[in-house]
Chain A
Amino acid sequence: MLATLDRRVLLRAVLVFVIAAVGVTAVLTMGGAAEAASTDPSAAATTTAATTGGTNIIAQNFLNGIVFGLLLALASVGLSLIYGTTGLSNFAHGEMVTFGAMLTYFLATQQPVSLPLIPVEFTIGLPFIPAALIAVAIASGLGWVQDKVLWSQLRKRRVGMVQQMIVSIGLSLALVNLIQWWMGGRPVRLIQAVDPRHQYGPIQIGNQTLISVGIAVAALVGVAFFLQRTRLGRATRAVSDNPALASASGIKVDSIIRIVWIMAAGLAALGGILLALYQQGMSFDDGTQLLMMMFAAVTLGGLGHPYGALVGSLVIGVVAEMSTVWLPPDLKFATALGILILVLLVRPQGILGKAERVG
């Protein structure tokens, strides 16, 4: 039970991911070749557009997909850990993502800001990095508060899982509107400066994005290290496997769950800040939109499986970005959600999930 992650599972996951990526790329390249072969002038136009300025559109979209997938993974790892340890599908997780970005803006902006119901405007204007760090810290604290005030009480009252899920929906509705009330309906930009893109072979990427990816990878490796190597992490995986047994062997299930909440909220806030940088803005309901992607990722990877969230996020990110090569960009998310439904048809336990009866 406490054994390290099964190597076969990991191999299988990598294999599935590589095959999926290769498959998607192959289909797209062949589609592109077929289009080029046809005499349709619009198709010819697309192919020329695909290679302008030495940038290969397929490689570029693949890279964008990986970047988006990594940032999505930051947000969805927490969702998956919460599901694993408590069984709750937390619909209010998207708001934690928005909250991270909004709080950073609130702390860092030079514009006057205010709080709901308090008719005083003021400016805090911290430099960006301390503001982001404080925002992540406050968000983690909020995760602790949320669990202390709400979820642990519900667990104590033995409120059913379905009811808890509906409670989280109510919380999501309340929070998203609270954020709109607080920050208004327009998207906010965390950093005003435009991030210039540099050309590396067939792809372009900005420095800011590179740093974001670095932070995301470091955070994800940190989570993996925590889960694999530390006592607390091992206890977390034990609770995730079987709470009753974990409790019987002397693990304090409730404090483990609280740590998971703190981590989940902090990671979501960090993901939100990085996403706001990557997309150059965040509006009050972006996190709620993203929740769909997170659920798709977590379900795809295997509900409750911490590494499943990573694999699922990368697949969703790549699929969403690659689809824009041949589908209109406003159908990006619809495609990703379509993939989710298809996967549930074939493999309902997700890519990494154990083959078990789930109904």
Chain B
Amino acid sequence: MDILTNVLTTAIAPSTAAFALAAIGLNFHFGLTGLLNMGQAGFMLLGMYGFAISLSNGLPIWLALIIGLAAAAVFALLLGWPTLKLRGDYLAIVTIAAAEMVRFLGRSQSLKDLTGASSGIRGIDYKEPFETLSPFPDSIVTIGPISMHGSRSSSWWLTTVTWGLVILFSLIYWRLSKSPWGRVLKGVREDEDAVRSLGKNVYSYKMQALVIGGVIGAFGGIMWALGNSVQPDSMGRPTTFWLWTLLLLGGAATVFGPMLGSVLFWSALTLVKGVAGAVIPDTVLSPTELEPFSLVLVGVTLMLLVIFRPQGVLGNKKELAFNG
């Protein structure tokens, strides 16, 4: 019973929604345009740094939000500039390298005053402006089997806002993917040369997709930071790989794929950890080994998904020709 409550709490948790948000961004890159962005965690991290550093220096929350998102947009422009004219795997290598660079810079001692080095930025330094906006009571609220705080940290307030954003951006994705602009992007995904021969500027379209997806990723990062704290090492390569797994699980190039994928991924992870912790004796699998064990399963799931069901739960195999 405890395990089920945990699973349910994870399924609606704000960090699950934040991952769904970042996956929607990745869906703009990969699902719609076929760009191999292996550095989505870098966009998230930049977003949260921009947001948290601005707020802890006393800027208003709307300006902090704009700064966080602008940082991601500039990052996308910088990355796209050398690589979008090259073959797909160059973008993959450069984005993963650049995301790691952001993390190395963030945890470097030389920027300690700004980023707090490897210990990051504490939640109290930047969460308050958001939490004071909360219309929910300032105490623990229990709805059904789930109890969360009304407005602090991972709260009902944050849950409402984050899932609201997920729905908003899913709607935007749905509208844009049906628009003429979205059709050009799908054309780029399927056959770049054909689109080029129709007189479209492929480079510019790819750049637009990269920027939009990156900004949504930064939004996801900001929402994640509001529920946790700014920690450079929590946004390393594994985070990007989780995003890919959950996007492919839900179904790339679909409207609900990122949302469903995130809920399934995190619930399944909690379920596996809960069941394994309860069933397998400690001598065989100690509690400290549970984390790597469940991540091994994530890796294997990603492999099996790509090999046997690249379209995921919701996707359409024809739509996803994986033209790299």
A-side residues, CB < 8 A to B, are 89, 116-119, 154, 157, 159-163, 165-167, 169-175, 177-178, 180-181, 288, 292, 295-296, 299, 327-328, 330-331, 333-334, 337-338, 340-341, 344-345, 348, 358-359
How many Cβ-Cβ contacts under 8 Å join chain A to chain B? 147
Evaluate whether A341 and B82 lie within 8 angstroms (CB atoms) in the complex, with A169-B244, A173-B298, A173-B299 already known: yes
Is B109 an interface residue, CB under 8 A from the partner?
A: yes
Q: Is the CB of A117 within 8 A of B285?
A: yes
Q: How far is the CB of B322 from chain A (nearest CB, A)?
A: 5
Given contacts A180-B292, A341-B82, 8 further A-B contacts (CB under 8 A): A165-B92, A170-B245, A174-B296, A177-B296, A330-B107, A334-B105, A344-B82, A358-B87
Residue of A nearest to B107 (CB): A330
Q: A292–B103 Cα gap in the complex (Å)? A: 13
Q: Is the CB of B241 within 8 A of A173?
A: yes
Q: Is the CB of A178 within 8 A of B292?
A: yes
Q: A345–B85 Cα gap in the complex (Å)? A: 10
Residues of A within 8 A of B93 (CB): 89, 295, 299, 340
Q: Is the CB of B244 within 8 A of A337?
A: no
The stretch among B8-16, B94-102, B220-228 that forms the contact with chain A is B94-102
Residues of B within 8 A of A163 (CB): 306-307, 310, 322
Most chain B CB within 10 A, of A118, A160, A177, A333, is at A177
Q: Is the CB of B86 within 8 A of A171?
A: no
Q: Is the CB of A161 within 8 A of B324?
A: yes
Q: Is the CB of B303 within 8 A of A167?
A: yes
Q: How far is the CB of A77 from chain B (nearest CB, A)?
A: 17
Residues of A within 8 A of B237 (CB): 288
Residues of A within 8 A of B36 (CB): 162, 165
Residue of A nearest to B79 (CB): A341
B-side residues, CB < 8 A to A, are 36, 38, 81-83, 85-90, 92-94, 96-98, 100-101, 104-105, 107-110, 237-238, 241, 244-245, 248, 283-285, 289, 291-293, 295-296, 298-303, 305-307, 310, 322-324
Q: How far is the CB of B214 from chain A (nearest CB, A)?
A: 16
Q: Is the CB of A160 within 8 A of B292?
A: no
Query: 29 interchain pairs (CB within 8 A)?
Result: A117-B284, A160-B323, A163-B322, A165-B36, A167-B306, A167-B307, A170-B302, A174-B295, A177-B295, A181-B293, A292-B96, A292-B100, A295-B97, A299-B93, A330-B108, A330-B109, A331-B104, A331-B110, A333-B101, A333-B104, A334-B108, A337-B98, A337-B101, A340-B97, A341-B97, A344-B86, A344-B94, A348-B86, A359-B87
User: Chain A interface mostly helix, strand, loop or mixed?
Assistant: helix
Residue of B nearest to A118 (CB): B284
Q: How far is the CB of B8 from chain A (nearest CB, A)?
A: 26
Residues of B within 8 A of A338 (CB): 101
Evaluate whether A160 and B322 lie within 8 angstroms (CB atoms) in the complex, with A169-B302, A180-B292 already known: yes
Q: Is the CB of B284 within 8 A of A119?
A: yes
Residues of B within 8 A of A157 (CB): 307
Q: Is the CB of B108 within 8 A of A328?
A: yes
Residues of B within 8 A of A180 (CB): 292
Evaluate whether A171 and B110 lie within 8 angstroms (CB atoms) in the complex, with A116-B289, A331-B105, A338-B101 already known: no
Q: How far is the CB of A244 from chain B (nearest CB, A)?
A: 19
Most chain A CB within 10 A, of B241, B291, B303, B305, is at B303
Evaluate whether A170 and B285 lie within 8 angstroms (CB atoms) in the complex, with A160-B324, A334-B104 already known: no
Residues of B within 8 A of A327 (CB): 110
Residues of A within 8 A of B86 (CB): 344, 348, 358-359
Residue of B nearest to A179 (CB): B292
Q: How far is the CB of A359 from chain B (nearest CB, A)?
A: 4
Complex partner residue of A166 from B87, B244, B296, CB under 8 angstroms: B244
Q: How far is the CB of A357 from chain B (nearest CB, A)?
A: 9
Q: Is the CB of B324 within 8 A of A172?
A: no
Q: A331–B82 Cα gap in the complex (Å)? A: 22
Top-9 shortest CB links A-B: A174-B299, A162-B324, A170-B302, A173-B299, A170-B303, A181-B292, A177-B295, A177-B292, A334-B104
Q: How far is the CB of A305 from chain B (nearest CB, A)?
A: 15
Q: A338–B101 Cα gap in the complex (Å)? A: 8
Q: A333–B100 Cα gap in the complex (Å)? A: 9
Complex partner residue of B90 from A162, A167, A171, A299, CB under 8 angstroms: A299
Q: A172–B85 Cα gap in the complex (Å)? A: 28
Residues of A within 8 A of B292 (CB): 177-178, 180-181
Q: Is the CB of B299 within 8 A of A175?
A: yes
